[in-house]
Structure 1
């Protein structure tokens, strides 16, 4: 092919090929650099506590969380329970968008630079979606989850399998190995930025198994590891005085901490 070209044309073709190869190499290098130079998110300033947003669980009831919110308000915190769309049974991504709007509103209203988020049950999963996919990791100082089915619950799995007509979108998404949870847990379960705490009860009969609430990278605290005789169930986690004291300790201290049996007396008094 090249032999039939004049010397001038041959040099032109070779030059064009060389430019194309340089462009390809440059493109490959830029892609590799882009993948390896992602700017890490800096940890949110822990010394400046802002408002607290409390996210309800499946069904969206705010009553139990108002008990916890009242405790935090009595301690001087600005605490708001987020009202979820579709009664808390719709798409978890839509719920995360609602949390996003509530956070933006709280920051604008208070002038704070960050928020603390407490997610109860499915609300903890909503908080994780917000942090991972909607920029929440750059706005949250601390995220505490209470009895959250981070790896799904068999209760939802059975409902999705045998009673699909009575298992709305959020129910299906909370089944073990659902596409939503698989994607959420595929990489980093606790994105950098906030400090993470997961509080849960070993006698949970809604999040099954209860260890589904364990969150990789978070401070992991079964209530019974603090007070062994606690019988708090899933529904009473936000109302329980011990759990309320644990949440306060994690939100109001200089940093989150691994609570244990030595803290039982102080937290129970």
Structure 2
């Protein structure tokens, strides 16, 4: 979810040493992957403008930054199938072997479903969740789209998604959560077993998208 009432997504945080810097000053190197950004409930690809601009400033070519937009009212299972096709398009366009996924709020759920149930771990090197409702949020009780019902605590969708291994495959997982995020309740919803789970400073749900520290930590986590 983005700036709206009723959604959730995944958070981020990992303390990592900075990536190797290319000779031209760019942090984008031969091993860097293209990035697919997945927004949350009632959002769109423009939610990522600030973060994508920062990646560009750090050397990522525009061709490697996909700010994807989808219908956030539909089931996350449908979105996951569309996401699978989007990943394949990005791999074909860039010639890369794998992508990195950076998600916000509810975007973490469809991308996790893709990883777990649609063989996405073979194509995703790193997955990031910024303020994701990975175990549900009570803010989803006030909206009624199919995707909202899936975000509710104890939903059958989340029960299935969280059964067994929460972070399957060789994909590297990281979440960031904020103690001041009033959209994801409880705060503990974001963290996943097997992921690097980090707490941010006092940030709002949407500020996770634009905070400079969260950006730098996300960049360094995926770029290694």
State the TM bucket, normalised to the shorter chain. 0.7 to 0.9
Partner residue in 2 for 1:71: 54
- The residue that corresponds to 1:89 in the other structure is 73
Q: Measure, in 2, the Cα distance between the counterparts of 1:82 and 1:63.
A: 9
> What secondary structure is seen at the aligned counterpart in 2 of 1:73?
helix
CA distance in 2, matches of 1:102, 1:60: 17
Please state how far the C-alpha of 1:132 moved relative to its aligned partner: 0.5
Cα distance per residue 1:7-41 (max 9 Å; x no partner): xxxxxxxxxxxxxxxxxxxxxxxxxxxxxxxxxxx
Larger radius of gyration: 1
Normalising by structure 1, we get a TM-score of 0.69
Kindly indicate whether residue 177 of structure 2 is the aligned counterpart of residue 200 of structure 1.
Answer: yes
The answer to whether structure 1 residue 243 and structure 2 residue 208 are counterparts is no
Q: Alpha-carbon deviation of 1:244?
A: 1.0
Which residue of 1 is the match for residue 9 of structure 2? none
Unpaired runs of at least 5, structure 2? 1-29
Change (3 A) 1:60 1:94: farther
Name 2:131's counterpart in structure 1: 147
Counterpart of 2:193 in 1: which secondary structure? Answer: coil
Corresponding residue for residue 220 of structure 1: 197
Q: Give per-residue Cα distances to partners, 1:119-139, cap 9 Å, x unaligned.
A: 110001111001011111110
3-state secondary structure, aligned to 2:90: helix
Name the CA distance, whole Å, in 2 between partners of 1:89 and 1:239. 24
CA contact (8 A) 1:49 1:141 kept: no
Aligned length: 192
Alignment equivalent of 1:50, drawn from 33, 38, 49: 33
| 1:183 and 2:167 are equivalent in the alignment | no
